[in-house]
Chain A
Amino acid sequence: MGVASVPDRLLHTTTSLCRTCKEAVPAEVVAQAGGVWMRKTCPQHGAQEVRLSTDAGWYERTRAERQHRVPPRVIKKEVDHGCPFDCGPCTSHTQKVRLPVVTITSACNLDCPICYVHNKNDDAFHMPVEDFQLILDHLRTDHGGELDIINLTGGEPTMHPRLFDMLAMANAAGIHRVTVCSNGIRLAKDEAYVERLAQLGARIALSFDTFDPHADKLLQGANMLATKLRCMELCEKHGVDVTLIPVMTRGVNEHEVGKILEFALQHESVRHVEVHTMTFTGQSGVTFQRSGRISMLEVLEEIDRRTSGLLTPSDFVSSPCAHPLCYQIAYLLVDPSGPPIPFTRFMPAGELRDALSDRLYLEPTARLEASLAAAIDRLWLDSDDNPEAARTLRLLRGLLETMFPSDRPLSRQAAMRAGERAIKAVYVHSHMDEETFDTERAVDCCDSNCYADGSTVPVCNYNVLYRETEARFTVKPAQWGSRSGGQRTFNLPVLR
Chain B
Amino acid sequence: MSEAKSKGSASQANRRLDGKRCLITGGSRGLGLAIAKACASQGAKIAFTFNSNRDDAAAAKASLVELGCEPLVFQGSVADAAHVKETVAELTKAWGGIDVLVNNAGTTQILPIALLEEADWDTVMDVNVKGAYLYSRAVLRSMIRARGGHILNIGSFASERVIEAPVHYAAAKSALRGLTEALAREVGRYNIKVNLLSPGLLDVGLAQMLPKHRITEYLSQVSLGRLGTAREVAEIAAFLVSDDNSFMAAAKIVADGGL
**Which residues of A approach B to under 8 Å, CB–CB?**
363-366, 369, 373, 376-377, 379-380, 393, 396-397, 400-401, 403-404, 406-412, 414-415
Contact = CB atoms under 8 A, between A and B. Distances in A.
Interface stretch (B103-111, B177-185, B250-258): B103-111
B109 A404 contact: yes
B52 A411 contact: no
Nearest to A400: B110
Contact of B115 (A400, A406, A412): A400
Contact of A409 (B52, B115, B208, B212): B208
B79 to A, nearest CB: 14
Contacts of A409: 30, 204-206, 208-209
B213 A366 contact: yes
Contact of A412 (B29, B51, B108, B210): B210
8 contacts: A365-B213, A373-B112, A376-B115, A380-B114, A404-B110, A407-B51, A408-B29, A410-B209
B112 A376 contact: yes
User: Taking each of A403, A412, A414, which has the highest tally of chain B beta carbons within 10 Å of its own beta carbon?
Assistant: A412
Contact of B209 (A369, A397, A411): A411
Interface of B: 29-30, 51-53, 56, 107-112, 114-115, 204-206, 208-214, 217
A22 B208 CA distance: 52
B223 to A, nearest CB: 23
Contact of B114 (A377, A406, A407): A377
A411 B215 CA distance: 13
User: Taking each of B53, B56, B109, which has the highest tally of chain A beta carbons within 10 Å of its own beta carbon?
Assistant: B109
Contact of B208 (A364, A365, A376, A410): A410
B209 A406 contact: no
B211 A412 contact: yes
A412 B208 contact: yes
A91 to B, nearest CB: 32
Nearest to A368: B211
A408 B209 CA distance: 10
> Which 9 residue pairs across A and B have the least CB separation, nearest first?
A380-B114, A404-B110, A364-B211, A415-B209, A366-B213, A409-B208, A397-B115, A410-B209, A376-B114
Contacts of A407: 51-53, 107
A406 B107 contact: yes
Given A376-B112, A393-B114, A397-B111, A369 B211 contact: yes
B209 A412 contact: yes
Contact of A400 (B30, B111, B217): B111
Contacts of B208: 409-412
Nearest to B116: A397
A404 B209 contact: yes
Contacts of B212: 412
Contacts of A376: 112, 114-115
A365 B210 CA distance: 11
Nearest to A381: B114
A406 B205 contact: no
Contacts of A412: 208-212
Contacts of A365: 211, 213
Contacts of A379: 114
B218 to A, nearest CB: 12
A387 to B, nearest CB: 17
A332 to B, nearest CB: 20
Contacts of B209: 403-404, 409-412, 414-415
B229 to A, nearest CB: 15
Contacts of A364: 211, 213
A393 B113 CA distance: 12
A38 B115 CA distance: 51
B53 A408 contact: yes
Contacts of B205: 409
A127 B206 CA distance: 41
Given A366-B213, A400-B109, A407-B53, 19 more contacts: A365-B213, A366-B214, A369-B211, A377-B114, A393-B115, A403-B110, A403-B209, A404-B109, A404-B110, A409-B30, A409-B204, A409-B206, A409-B209, A410-B208, A411-B208, A412-B208, A412-B210, A412-B211, A415-B209
Contacts of A377: 112, 114
Contacts of B206: 409
A366 B204 CA distance: 22
A396 B110 contact: no
